[in-house]
Every structure is written in C-alpha cells, then in structure tokens.
Amino acid sequence: MFRLFFKKPRNLKDDILSGLTVALALVPEAVAFAFVAGVDPLVGLYAAFFVGLITSTIGGRPGMISGATGAMAVVMTAFVVIYGLEYLFAAVIVAGIFQVLAGVFRLGKFVRLLPHPVMLGFVNGLAIVIGLAQFGQFKEKHEVIYNEATQNFEVVGQWMSASSSTLWIMIAIIVATMAIIQYLPKLTRAIPAPLVAIIVGTLLVTFTSIKSPTVRDVLDTQRVLQAEKDYKQKEFVAAKGDYTLNELESKGDALAAAPVESEKLGEIKEGLKAGLPTFAIPTLDWSDWTGIKTVVLLGLTLASIGLIESLMTLSLIDEITETRGSSNRECVGQGVANIVTGFFGGMGGCAMIGQSMININSGGRGRTSGISAALFLFAFILFAPALIEMIPIASLVGVMFMVVIATFEWSSLRLLGKIPRSDFLVIVAVSTVTVFLDLAIAVGVGIVISALVFAWNRSKEITLEKTDEKEGLVHYEVEGNIFFGSITEFKALFNPKTDPQDVYLSFEKSKLCDHSSLEAVHSLSEKYKALGKCLHLTALSPECANLLRKAGDTVEVSVKGTDKVSI
C-alpha cells in the first residue's frame, strides 16, 4: 500500500496541491447537484467524499475525480419527491451492485467499441452542460413558484440586470480568475493556477470593499428556499384531492405566493459544518412492491448513467495522459463507492469530467490527487467550513469556464467537409442530446446512428465474380461479409433461372455473420431447389461452418468442405 501511493515521489507535491484545488471546486458542484436532486447539500457533499475517496483508491483510473454529478442528479428529482431519501439511498446501493456486477462480468471493455465521433460529441456536450450550469449563478431574487405542467413547486430566480453592480463585480472576478489560470503557468508551475486564482478572489472579497456572493451566501439562501419548497409541496399534495382540475393552477400559484412562517419550516442548518456521517440501512416498506420495483429501476438507470459517464471520462483521460486505465476495475470501484455511499447517506455519483480536467491540468496524475481531494473536502466540512464558505462564487465560475474551454474539442468545429458527413452528424447529435436530455440517451443515439451508417456502407460492398463455367456447372466467388444489412444486395446478385444444374459458391473472401445471413442462404437454396438445381457452398471458414452446423435443418444447403473445414 505504501508503494502504491509513493512510488513516484516527484509527483507527490503536484498531486496534493492539485487535490486541494479540486476539493475547493467540488464544493459548489456537490451543493448545486444536491439541490437539483432535491436533497440537503450535505447529502451531496458526503457523496463527493465517499465516491471520490473510494474510486481514487481502488478504481481503474488514477487522476480521475469522482463525486456527485448532474447527470445522475437530474433523474433523482421526481423520485425523491415521491418516495423520499430512504428510497433514494436504497436505489444508490442497488446501482452500486449493478456496477460491481458489470465489472465482474468484464462489461467495461465495451466502452472501447464507442466510435470516435461519439466520444467527441460526449466531450462537447458535457462541456456545454458544464458551461450552461454556471450561468445559474447570475440569477438573484429567488422565489418558489408552482409549475402547472409537473404539478410541483420549483425554485426560480431572475437574471441580474445590466445596471447591477453585483453583476459587474462577478464578471470582473471571473475574468481575473480566468486570466490568472491562463497566464500564471507561464511564470511558474510550483502552485496550481486555479488554486492561486481562488485564493486571490477570496482575499479580494474578504479584505476589501469589493462584495460578491460567496459559497455561504448561496448555501444559506438555497437551504431556506429548499425548505419552503418542500413545505409547500407537502401542503399542496395533502390538499390536492379537494381541488377540481380547473382549481389546481390557481391554488398552486396562491400557495406559492403565500409567505411561510419560519417556525413551520423547522430547523434549517447554516453553513457547511457537519458531523461524521453515520452508517444506516435504508428503511423501506417491503410490502410496497411498486416502490421496490421503482428502486430497482432507478438503480439500473443510475448505474447505466454512472458507468457511461465514468468510462467515457476514463477514455478521455487515457487519451490526454497517453496512459491506459482499467475499465473493468473502474466499474468495480464505482460500484463499491456507491454501495458505501448509500449506507452512509450520500446521493451517489460517478466520474466528473470538469473536476477531472482541473486535476489533470493542475498536475494531478496519481491516485494521491483524488484521495487528497476527498480528504481535503472532508476536512473542510468537519474542521474548517469557514474557509470554503468565504470563497466567492465568481472565482469558482471562472475556474469552471476554463474547464469548459479546455474540455471542448474545438478542432471538431473544423471537421465539416474533412470527415464523412455521417460522422459529423453523430458529433452534433450526441452533443445536442447530451445538452437537452441526458448522457445515456445521447450515447445510445450516437451508437445507433454510427451502427446504421456502418451497416448501410458495408451492405454496398457485396460483389459476385464468376471464376469458372463448364457444361452443367458454374463457380462463383462472393466478396464482402453477409449480414442483416447486405442480404438484399446478396440475393440480387443471383439468377437461379439462368444458372446451370450445379452452382458452386466460394466463401473464401466472405463470411456469414448472423441469423439474417443464414436465412438469406437458405432462401437462395430454396430457389435453386425449386428449379431442380443444387447450391454448393465451398471454402467456408471454420467460424462460418460452425454457424451452419449449429443452424442444423434451418439451412438446407449442400456444403462442400475445403482443407479448412468439412461438413
């Protein structure tokens, strides 16, 4: 274990300093995603600690940072409203179990089958999502409103006006932060530039007359609004049965606008200070089969989203660092992390491309960087929450904007006309779906488009050449693989009516790939048989011969073996 962390002493300083930078950047993201999921910020912070620590220790990609993520948070929102936290923790545990099984059965290797355009679309889409998420910090005067479409209460804010001094101060801090990150490395790399930028911004806001919203300001405001939203949601659900359909909107709007006495909101925590997380088995109503089934389905959804985002981030870091991580080991690491997180009251998580890029760009390449980031985060929460609370949100937004710039594949914008149009379409489609829906659907769309284009192109590569013709027989050689996409072209190459009694078809340059190809051969054989003729298959590879052998009576052909195989 000692050698695991210290086999490269020259990088230990970089890993620890990078971990400190990442820890500071993890806080607002974990808090923001906790609110997206509808849970207390500490639930997100605990997830960032446990998932980050465990995946960095036993995962398959040193230097990759994991924690609470938006991709998983967005699918939790409605579930938390309906079933509550206990069921969410159970779903996180189930997700972890699915992820461990994926690693045990070595399913992680399939990420290497993803086409490069899908990877580009994934990276660009996530960069856009990260960037758009930062603009929420430019809103003020937040309030609770009623959403008629979802029949739920939501927290919304108004954009800062152009005449607002707060807006221009935030923009100035963001620009200064980005400038420090861009130009400081040209002077020195002794300390990560993002860390310096955060410290400078914090000192300006704390010790000068410059005032800008801090992590504490946002945290306390959001907690009060979250408590108010939850209270009004419960009141509305309790009374909704007495309303007619036409009354729902007016009653919801009236309740949203009504002030709530602070006593009714209960005790609201202040700041980030918290105690040690405690182990607890989620309490479920096992007689509620609908709830249990929903837990399993949500767990499967979370596992899928988490693994897709983690494994694609792993591949991205592999490419940047020119090293190779273990995808199957990462599946197990992510799974164990989510299982533990669920038992200790965390919302679960997966790899974070933004924080991973901060870590890599700050010099963190080893496991120590991720471990130190998790430990710094936990230490801040327990012993020094004030240090994080005083950080201006604008500094963290500036850091994340630089992450967006570094993450987005700008070269992909110049690919139009240089790569097949179908590949460029995949890049645009995956990026767009990632922004408007979610990562899992985006990757699925990209894979489907790529597979259909591949099948279409390969289907046109089937050719038939006549190699020999004698009285009563003819020899053909087919070139190109036969599969579901090419069977129509394959059948069109033959004319049983004009062919002689015996037709020999060589597969030396071709293969039968699937059930559709077997059916195509069977259909062709039946046409010759109906005319009193016979189709012979020759030069079959062992794989094709075995495929025909397994098909048995499904394919009625006369197979002439070669020195490779004989049936």
Walk along the chain (567 residues) in steps of 10 and give the mean pLDDT of each run: 40 85 78 69 88 94 88 76 85 95 85 77 81 84 84 85 91 93 83 82 90 85 84 84 80 87 80 79 85 90 86 85 88 95 92 85 87 91 82 85 82 82 88 80 85 80 83 87 84 88 86 83 86 84 73 55 42
Is 489 a member of any domain?
yes
pLDDT tens column, 390-440: 888 898 888 878 878 877 888 888 888 788 888 888 888 988 888 887 777
Instruction: Looking at the structure, tell me whether residues 261 and 153 fall in a common domain.
Output: yes
Percentages helix, strand, coil for the chain (3-state, rounded to 5) are 65, 10, 25
Helix (H) / strand (E) containing 473: strand 473-479
Is 318 a member of any domain?
yes
Ramachandran class of 139: left when φ > 0, alpha when ψ lies in -120 to 50, beta otherwise: beta
What's the confidence (pLDDT) of residue 112? 65
pLDDT tens column, 129-157: 778 878 888 888 888 888 887 778 888 88
Instruction: Looking at the structure, tell me whether residues 363 and 449 fall in a common domain.
Output: no
Residue with the two structure tokens 């954009």: 159
Instruction: Please compute, for residue 466, the number of CA atoms within 13 A of its CA located in the half-sphere on the CB side.
Output: 11
Domain that holds residue 223: 22-407
Which tokens belong to 165?
A: 């001094």
In angstroms, what CA-CA distances link 158 with 141, 155, 213, 232, 257? 6, 11, 15, 21, 16
Instruction: Looking at the structure, tell me whether residues 121 and 241 fall in a common domain.
Output: yes
Distance CA(265)–CA(530), nearest Å, equals 82
Is 292 a member of any domain?
yes
In angstroms, what CA-CA distances link 528 with 147, 510, 547, 548? 67, 21, 22, 18
Distance CA(541)–CA(565), nearest Å, equals 7
Is 414 a member of any domain?
no
Is 207 a member of any domain?
yes
Helix (H) / strand (E) containing 551: helix 542-551
Instruction: Looking at the structure, tell me whether residues 262 and 300 fall in a common domain.
Output: yes
What's the confidence (pLDDT) of residue 36? 64
Instruction: Looking at the structure, tell me whether residues 401 and 544 fall in a common domain.
Output: no
- What CATH number is associated with residue 541? 3.30.750.24
Instruction: Looking at the structure, tell me whether residues 464 and 439 fall in a common domain.
Output: no
What's the confidence (pLDDT) of residue 552? 62
Buried-state track 174-200, b at ≥16 Cβ within 10 A, e below 16: bebbbebbeebeeeeeebbbbbbbbbb
**Phi, psi of 159, rounded to the nearest 5 degrees:** -65, 140
Assign 145 to helix, strand or coil.
strand
What's the confidence (pLDDT) of residue 451? 83
Q: How many domains does the structure of the chain reveal? A: 3
Instruction: Looking at the structure, tell me whether residues 54 and 202 fall in a common domain.
Output: yes
Is 12 a member of any domain?
no
Assign 535 to helix, strand or coil.
strand
Farthest-apart Cα atoms in the chain, separation: 102
Rounding to the nearest 10 degrees, give the CA dihedral for residues 229, 235, 238, 244.
-90
Distance CA(79)–CA(372), nearest Å, equals 33
Which tokens belong to 418?
A: 């240089």
Around Cβ 425, how many Cβ atoms within 10 Å?
Answer: 16
Instruction: Looking at the structure, tell me whether residues 152 and 210 fall in a common domain.
Output: yes
Instruction: Looking at the structure, tell me whether residues 177 and 120 fall in a common domain.
Output: yes
Around Cβ 369, how many Cβ atoms within 10 Å?
Answer: 31
Distance CA(220)–CA(227), nearest Å, equals 11
Instruction: Looking at the structure, tell me whether residues 38 and 79 fall in a common domain.
Output: yes
Instruction: Looking at the structure, tell me whether residues 472 and 540 fall in a common domain.
Output: yes
Is 15 a member of any domain?
no
Instruction: Looking at the structure, tell me whether residues 400 and 472 fall in a common domain.
Output: no
Is 413 a member of any domain?
no
Q: Which pTM does this prediction carry? A: 0.72
Domain end residue (candidates: 368, 387, 407): 407
